[in-house]
Amino acid sequence: MDDHMDDRSTDEYRAAELAGFLLPGQQALIHERGWLKMLAPRAAGGAELPLPDVVRLEEELAAQDGSLGWVVTLCAGAGWFAGFLPPAVARDIVGTPRVCLAGSGAATGYADLDGDSAVITGRWDYASGAPMATHFTLNAVLREQGTVLCDDAGQPRIRAFVVPAAHVTLEPSWHTIGMRASASQAYRIDGARVPLSHGFTIDAAHATAQGPLYRFPFMALAYVTLAANLLGMATHFIALAEPLIATRRRHGGDVTLLDVPAVASLLADVRDALARDRAAFYAALDKAWERVAAHAAADEDTLRTVSLRLVDTCRQAVDGLYPYCGLRAARADAAINRVWRDFHTATQHTLLLPA
């Protein structure tokens, strides 16, 4: 870890997992470093960092702890939406003390239009970082006088909104084997009235902030930030696996598994494959960023391809090495077991399904 991080103990991450949320000290570190504002517009009080720098930091955080990296990634990603809000609204939200935006992309609620406001009702799943959120983002189907509004193709019109946490009721629905401290709870809104100015469209043509960050394609941003998290977790797993493999002995012999040529070759191949695909991933990201900064289009297909290839390589690395780690890796209180559980929980994100 570089100077972005301090040395958080394994015990602290284990305590956060048992608590089911990031601990106050971990939350304080996140706010102190300004990580949740790193994609928000500079004009609104954010850092507006170059995306390649953000993705590399997110990899680093996930290599420290899966839940930490995931919460920072998802909540900073929601902070990026400030670049599509009216500037005054964006400044008000980003300027909130200890601001944290959590949310869901599923359109599982309704926004009933009423003059210059919308009345929002619904339930949304998987809002990572929910307990520390000051605001929630969501997608809702638009209605007027009870009738669903449709676009020219006859499909329901969907609008994104940001809603203060005071209007939100959390539901303790996050009962997974891993990523427990991400606290990706469901949330409910029962008839909250919000100004239409809190609605936004996630599209470069509708960006209200200048700069390449807000011209970068949303889906491409989602792929690269999620893939970086899986890369960080896989890297952490390999670092914990090697000493276990080095001390575990073959049945009936004195030779350690690391001295078995096939196992040593497997470990070397895993490292080589991960380094190769990581390099290709960042080369594609850096090139895409340069193109967007020059007002050209990013190659979204390539970014999706390299992201999914990297995630697949991470899966092969973790699943390939796990059988050689022994029962110590199967203990629920072992750091490597937590990383294994976090990794396999995170891979269930819909965008990360094998191509």
Residue 7's contacts (CB-CB under 8 Å, 6 or more residues apart) are 1
pLDDT in the model for residue 1? 35
pLDDT > 80? residue 7: no
Q: Do the domain assignments include residue 35?
A: yes
User: Which secondary-structure segment (H or E) carries 16?
Assistant: helix 10-19
Q: Tokens in use for 352? A: 């990360």
What is the structure's pLDDT at 355?
A: 65
Residue 207 lies in a domain: no
Residue 75 has pLDDT above 90, yes or no: yes
CA distance linking residue 90 with residue 136, whole number of Å: 14
Q: Do both 150 and 224 map to the same domain? A: no
pLDDT of residue 51 exceeding 80, the answer is yes
**Distance from the Cα of residue 332 to its chain's centroid:** 24
Asked whether residue 242 falls in the same domain as residue 339, the answer is yes
- At 251, the pLDDT band (50, 70, 90 cuts) reads confident
**Are 127 and 226 part of one and the same domain?**
no
CATH of the domain at 326: 1.20.140.10
Average pLDDT of the chain to the nearest whole number: 95
- Report the CATH number at residue 56: 1.10.540.10
Band (pLDDT 50/70/90 cuts) for residue 277 is very high
Inside any domain, residue 211: no
pLDDT tens digits, 135-179: 999 999 999 999 999 999 999 999 999 999 999 999 999 999 999
- pLDDT(186) > 50: yes
Q: Which two tokens stand for residue 97?
A: 């003390």
Token pair belonging to 24: 């106050």
346 in a structural domain = yes
Predicted local distance difference test score (pLDDT) of residue 354? 80
pLDDT at residue number 8: 59
Tell me: pLDDT of 216 over 60.
Answer: yes
User: Would you place residue 69 in the very low, low, confident or very high pLDDT band (cuts 50, 70, 90)?
Assistant: very high
Kindly give, in sequence order, each residue whose CB lies less than 8 Å from that of residue 11, ignoring residues fewer than 6 positions away: none
What domain range includes position 337? Answer: 216-352
Does residue 316 register a pLDDT over 70? yes
Q: How many domains does one find in the chain?
A: 3
The pLDDT confidence band at residue 2, using thresholds 50, 70 and 90, is: very low
